[in-house]
Amino acid sequence: MDEDIFEEEDGVDAADTRGTAYGSEVHDFAEDYALGEAVTPSNPDEEAIKTFLDGLDGECYVEESAVLPLEVDGGRVTISGIADLVHVTDDHIEIVDYKTDQTRRANEEYRKQLSVYYHVLDAEYPDRKVIPTIYYTADAEQVTINPLSIAELQSLVRTL
């Protein structure tokens, strides 16, 4: 069974966000800019992303699918999602998930999402350190997330 159980809206108070449409516009800008499209920032969040991306070296991959199969109670569950940005350097892999939230109240929900991406990329790049992060566009702040273990993810799936 495929389950996308860690959607961006889970546990997020509407007062913390500027709406799905705004977040989608910012994400679209980030994707286009990272791909080298001729786009211009139209708000402070997009300006923050432009500055952030301009400061990265290495290779950047956008909208990367992540699929994590888990064994849970003798069955198999697949958790999937899409990482906004995977930044690859010679010695580490950085997962970046853009958030337009104005607070940090949803960090624990985002931790679940980034943990899935972490385990997928950690298996794909065993010779490099994998660093899951949230880039809060409102503050231009990148926050490193301590990923949940596979056992913790399995436990979360059991409670659904």
16-158 CATH choice from 3.90.226.10, 3.40.50.300, 3.90.320.10, 3.40.50.1970: 3.90.320.10
CB 130 within 8 A of CB 145: no
- The pLDDT assigned to 138 comes to 92
* Tens digits of residue pLDDT in 118-136: 999 999 999 999 999 999 9
Count other C-beta atoms under 10 Å from residue 76's C-beta.
9
Q: At what angle do helices 107-124 and 150-158 cross, to 10 degrees?
A: 130
Element (H, E) at 43: none
What residues pair up with 2 in beta bridges, in sequence order? 78
| pTM flag (> 0.75) | yes
Residue whose entry in the numeric block shows the structure tokens 């069955």: 75
Three-state DSSP at 7 gives: coil
The pLDDT assigned to 10 comes to: 44
**E strand map for the chain:** 2-3, 59-72, 75-88, 92-99, 129-136, 141-144
Closest CA to 156 of 129, 127, 120, 116: 116
Instruction: Indicate the residue type of 130.
Output: V
Q: Quick: pLDDT tens for 1-46.
A: 344 444 444 444 444 456 788 989 999 999 999 999 999 999 999 9
Count CA atoms within 13 Å of residue 126 on its CB side.
Answer: 1
| pLDDT score of 111 | 93
Q: Rounded distance, CA 123 to CA 48, Å?
A: 31
